[in-house]
Copies of this chain bind each other. A is one copy, B any other.
Amino acid sequence: VTDLIYTYLRDKGFKFINSLNGCRIYALYFIGSTKVSTIPGVSAAGAKPELTLYTPACDVEFLVYGKPKSLNAIPVTPEGIPTPALITRACIKLTELPFNVVDCGSYVEPKIPHIKLPSKYVGELITTGHALPYERVKALFNESSHLAKMLGKLADAIVVGESIPGGTTTALGILVALGYNAWGKVSSSSPNNPHNIKEGIVKEGLKGAGLSISECREDPFKAVSALGDPVHISIAGFLVKALELGIKVLLAGGTQMTAVLAIAKHLGADLSKDVVVGTTRWIIQDNSSSIISLIQEVAPDVPVVAAPLDLTNAPFNGLRYYEEGYVKEGVGAGGTTIVTILKRPLNDVLNAIYSEYSKLVT
């Protein structure tokens, strides 16, 4: 597959993507909420801060039905730019990609058939340093591992996406708690990455938690309990078990996926093979964040591949905004595009996105 952008560990990434040809691929979109997204200025994944709590449910309802059910409008940024679930839905329909949704702690229960982790939990404000009870963190990890075990070898490869507004801030929290220099490196759904706000929140949380890096590295559940959210730990649980079973995993997301890798790494997972981060061109070309710097620090053996989505010539204003740094990634948009390009030309993907958008506005 030469249509993709092999950003980091080019040959290994190329080999992984080619090995997906003919594989049975299943996509799982992990959703959850953190109250961090309601802090003004943190997240652009909703028209207003309080609406970001509805975004995960609406995103996945849109995936299934083509319209949300929990609110009467699809998730948009404050400027009205639509959710990347639009890209994901277009891709899923194009190749009839099998998929499901895993609710790890969505504030609103999605009105679709979905996989529920019984310990689902809405993450608290991390400014206190107490994001989730420690036992919940552990339970979410274990339940998600069991999910991977139950699925077994049904799929050869899994695309794992996420929808959690505020997730780059909690990713920053997890990364920093685990001793990585992630300051100024996580991305944002806004062209003006609010690093100062995110850093203020994480620094306050670090103070509240009072944990040392070595404590967190020894027990990454502590880092998540202090500064995390329900989604990163659940994806980590799934990843660790899937890799043990020899299933390939495409982590479909931006800088947040490095927080997943950090958790898995300090739990002893072997990240030397079968796992790749798949994202969008908008993430890898973003000047206000650095996924490459993060991956080099956290998991230098994990390739990063990007879908060459370019909406410059899109026939809709709302989509052309993506080229100005709005949205960038989410709901597995990049990774889902990557596995779609294995089967269909990029141009078909773009047309499917346009067609999906036109249904929204008419």
Binds B, one of A124-132, A143-151, A268-276: A143-151
The tally of residues in A whose CB lies under 8 Å from a CB in B reads: 29
- A118 proximity list for chain B (CB < 8 A): 109-114
A288 at the interface (CB under 8 A from B): no
B24→A96 contact, CB < 8 A: no
- A144 proximity list for chain B (CB < 8 A): 113
A154→B98 contact, CB < 8 A: yes
A97→B152 contact, CB < 8 A: yes
A116→B113 contact, CB < 8 A: yes
Residue pairs across A and B with Cβ atoms less than 8 A apart, 28 shown, are: A24-B154, A64-B146, A64-B150, A96-B152, A96-B153, A98-B150, A98-B151, A98-B152, A99-B150, A100-B115, A100-B150, A100-B151, A109-B118, A112-B118, A112-B143, A112-B146, A113-B116, A113-B118, A113-B144, A113-B146, A113-B150, A114-B115, A114-B116, A114-B118, A115-B116, A116-B116, A154-B154, A154-B155
B112→A115 contact, CB < 8 A: no
The distance in angstroms between the C-alpha atoms of A151 and B151, with both chains bound, is: 12
Copy count, this protein chain: 2
A26 at the interface (CB under 8 A from B): yes
The distance in angstroms between the C-alpha atoms of A110 and B146, with both chains bound, is: 14
The distance in angstroms between the C-alpha atoms of A331 and B110, with both chains bound, is: 27
A201 at the interface (CB under 8 A from B): no
The distance in angstroms between the C-alpha atoms of A201 and B80, with both chains bound, is: 56
A160 at the interface (CB under 8 A from B): no
A36 at the interface (CB under 8 A from B): no
A178 at the interface (CB under 8 A from B): no
A25 to B, closest residue via Cβ: B154
A58 at the interface (CB under 8 A from B): no
A117 at the interface (CB under 8 A from B): yes
A234 to B, closest residue via Cβ: B113
The distance in angstroms between the C-alpha atoms of A100 and B155, with both chains bound, is: 14
- A98 proximity list for chain B (CB < 8 A): 150-154
The distance in angstroms between the C-alpha atoms of A152 and B150, with both chains bound, is: 18
- A99 proximity list for chain B (CB < 8 A): 150
- A113 proximity list for chain B (CB < 8 A): 102, 115-118, 143-144, 146-147, 150
> A275 CB to closest chain B CB, in angstroms?
20
- A152 proximity list for chain B (CB < 8 A): 96-98
> A147 CB to closest chain B CB, in angstroms?
4
> A327 CB to closest chain B CB, in angstroms?
24
The distance in angstroms between the C-alpha atoms of A147 and B99, with both chains bound, is: 9
The distance in angstroms between the C-alpha atoms of A97 and B150, with both chains bound, is: 8
> A226 CB to closest chain B CB, in angstroms?
25
Q: Which of A26, A118, A147, A154 has the most CB of B within 10 A?
A: A154
**Which residues of A60-114 are within 8 A (CB) of B?**
64, 96-100, 102, 109-114
> A178 CB to closest chain B CB, in angstroms?
26
The distance in angstroms between the C-alpha atoms of A146 and B112, with both chains bound, is: 8
The distance in angstroms between the C-alpha atoms of A113 and B147, with both chains bound, is: 6
> A240 CB to closest chain B CB, in angstroms?
15
- A154 proximity list for chain B (CB < 8 A): 24, 26, 98, 154-155
The distance in angstroms between the C-alpha atoms of A48 and B143, with both chains bound, is: 30
Q: Which of A24, A118, A150 has the most CB of B within 10 A?
A: A150
- A109 proximity list for chain B (CB < 8 A): 118
A111 to B, closest residue via Cβ: B118
The distance in angstroms between the C-alpha atoms of A147 and B115, with both chains bound, is: 10
